[in-house]
Amino acid sequence: MTRTATAPVQASPKIAMRNVKKAFGSKVVLDGFDLDVMPGESVVIIGGSGTGKSVSLKCILGLLNPDSGEIDIDGQPILGLSKQDRDAVNAKIGMLFQNAALFDSISVWENVAFTLVQGEGMARSKARDIAMEKLGQVGLSAEIGERNPAQLSGGMRKRVGLARAIAGDPDIIFFDEPTTGLDPIMGHIIDKLIVKCVREVGATALTITHDMASARRIADRVTMLYKGKNIWTDRIEKLDSSGNPYVHQFVNGLAEGPIDLPILKN
């Protein structure tokens, strides 16, 4: 980026989470989660199973209400919004679900066009054209668009889920474990498609994963969640030289280290 010496540009975050706390009964899951995601940036949240990665995404989407803290999107506080205002915020967000979450009772293109038709009231013929274009962006033909999702492999279903996530040209895309259930080669292909599509749409991306190979391919920055807090946040290139023993243990999948594994206590 070119900047003039006299006018430094300091963009404000697309997503800002400040001291977000969330407990379920006595179980504290988020205990002061802080994260800024800048416009056009791809941030990956890593952390062990049950550390609250999904809970943090659900708090941004309004599916869960934090107990305290602040979440802003485009500088606007989004906690406590009316349903109508919340829906308007969520209309800016695309989501690729872990299992792709396709409806098997309708065709592939109808899945991709679902929000355009149901949410935005777009005419079916126009929505179909957009769906076919988005399927093309993820490398799927119009012939696939006419098929039933049940006929597709896991990798193809992920591509359809990605096409649906970008169908509305969202400002923000969430990726929930995008490579789970895929073989390493298909995981690599999906990661490359994610990077390409996020760039083409010009979106800001937030991904949760424990697939470190995937994180390295798609992240600009990474934050590690442990015991409800971000214990380390930095550029992905710093992952192997973090100097943080928790990050080191997690990234290298070591059985020995400082990470407290509740499962070993049962």
Least CB distance from residue 190 to ligand ATP, whole Å? Answer: 18
Least CB distance from residue 96 to ligand ATP, whole Å? Answer: 15
Least CB distance from residue 98 to ligand ATP, whole Å? Answer: 8
For ligand ATP, give the closer residue by CB, 47 or 66: 47
Residue with tokens 């934050």, as numbered in its chain:
223
Q: Which helix (H) or strand (E) holds 138?
A: none
Identify which of 76, 47, 71, 41 has the alpha carbon closest to the alpha carbon of residue 59.
71
- Helix and strand totals (H; E) in the chain: 9, 10
Instruction: Report residue 68: phi and psi, to 5°.
Output: -160, 175
For ligand ATP, give the closer residue by CB, 204 or 209: 209
Q: How many residues does the chain have?
A: 266
Distance between CA atoms of 241 and 243, rounded to whole angstroms? Answer: 6
Inter-residue contact 158 to 96 (CB < 8 Å):
yes
For ligand ATP, give the closer residue by CB, 45 or 167: 45
* SS3 call for 179: coil
Least CB distance from residue 63 to ligand ATP, whole Å? Answer: 9
Least CB distance from residue 55 to ligand ATP, whole Å? Answer: 4
Residue type, 243: G
For ligand ATP, give the closer residue by CB, 63 or 88: 63
For ligand ATP, give the closer residue by CB, 191 or 211: 211
Residues lying near ligand ATP in the complex (CB under 6 A) are found at: 24, 29, 47, 49-55, 210
